[in-house]
Amino acid sequence: MAPRKPKVIVTRKLPDVVETRMRELFDTELNLDDTPMDAEALAAAMSRADVLAPTITDRLDAELIGRAGPQLKLIANFGAGVDHIDIAAANAHGITVTNTPGVLTEDTADLTMGLILASARRVVEGANIVQAGDFHGWTPTWMLGRRLRGKRLGIVGMGRIGQALAKRASAFGLAIHYHNRKPVSPRIAEDLEATYWESLDQMLARMDVVSVNCPHTPATYHLLSARRLKLIQPHAIIVNTARGEIIDESALAGMLQRGELAGAGLDVYEHEPSVNPKLLKLPNVVLLPHMSSATIEGRLDMGDKVIINIRTWMDGHKPPDRVIPSML
């Protein structure tokens, strides 16, 4: 007799290839219409599932995890970020949490570099002018942006994505600076020709471009606070492809509106999917719909990692991508 397949409930629609493989391997319940689950729907799913496969749109707080059925033993997150899951609460209830680290590094670094370019050279602003029929010919002093070569890039968070961004930025002639909880290894620092700043305040005050690439944790909430934003030079631009909560969005919008910063490129927002109305009206801001990891290859790789984590757990082993509370 074949062993019972675990009940896996997937909260959002995933690529067809991933869903098909999950149906082959597990007793999988799919979300075919891709409607985000509210708290009650999530609670109902957690009362029936052996494994929940959520995404960033699912807020699994301590109260919701406390309502989970005793059979729920694994939350196999489809995504690298886990700030939407109360890891400590899950651990206290004997529920293992996994994520999909590493697979989104190159895609996110690509888009981050794209946002730096688009913001510095006013790419979206220029495209909008042409599409609106307002381009009336070239002039020598119109639509002037900023050259990247020779400028300083300050990376906030020098993990996988920060390092991948540093490699790309170096190719454009940017000098690499970074702030991290601790310095990277001497070998990596030498390869990237990166300057470490223990003081985030001191780094911000000297940069031409600031890129946020650290995870969102209680310690990084509003890491770029109103006070710190005021340290940044008026000609600088800020790019964020990490999490919106890391920047005080209201303070950022006000500074951009008053011309106290030259521009910003944002793929994430503090109250996502809501965007500060001030940002929507500013021509010097490039706004994207949380798409830094949105490649076909990346989504398929994420699905593969979710499946590997579930299968490893099924076999009685520790999944390779366990998230430990002490890691956060």
| Residues 67-106 pLDDT 10s | 999 999 999 999 999 999 999 999 999 999 999 999 999 9
4 falls in which pLDDT band (50, 70, 90)? confident
Structure confidence by residue, pLDDT tens digits, 208-257 = 999 999 999 999 999 999 999 999 999 999 999 999 999 999 999 999 99
The reply to whether 17 falls in a domain is: yes
Within this chain, do residues 195 and 264 fall inside the same structural domain, yes or no? yes
Same structural domain, 29 and 174: no
The domain total for the chain is 2
| pLDDT-based confidence at residue 15 (cuts at 50, 70, 90) | very high
Buried residues in 300-324 as b, exposed as e (16+ CB within 10 A): ebbbebbbbbbebbbeeeebebbbe
Phi, then psi, of 82 in degrees rounded to 5: -130, 20
Share of the chain above pLDDT 90, in %: 97
For position 325, what pLDDT does the model report?
78
Residues 159 and 274 in one domain: yes
In this structure, the answer to whether residues 80 and 186 fall within a common structural domain is no
Q: Please check whether residues 115 and 97 belong to one and the same domain.
A: no
Q: Please check whether residue 13 lies inside any domain of the structure.
A: yes
CATH number at residue 259: 3.40.50.720
97 and 109 part of one domain = no
Q: How many residues are recorded in the chain?
A: 328
Q: Based on the fold, state whether residues 275 and 305 are members of the same structural domain.
A: no
Same-domain pairing of 309 and 199: no
- Domain residues for the domain of 204 are 105-287
Q: Would you say residue 95 lies in a domain?
A: yes
263-275 pLDDT per residue, tens: 999 999 999 999 9
Do 277 and 143 share a structural domain?
yes
Catalytic positions are 243, 272, 290
Residue 141 lies in a domain: yes
Domain identity same for 247 and 138: yes
Sign of torsion, CA 12 13 14 19? Answer: positive
Residues 132 and 247 in one domain: yes
98 domain-assigned: yes
Q: Is 221 helix (H, G, I), strand (E, B) or coil?
A: coil
- Is residue 80 situated within a structural domain? yes
Q: Is residue 186 part of a domain?
A: yes
Q: Which residues contact 320 (CB under 8 A, 6 or more apart)?
A: 98, 308, 309, 312
112 and 260 within one domain = yes
Q: Report yes or no on 1 lying in a domain.
A: no
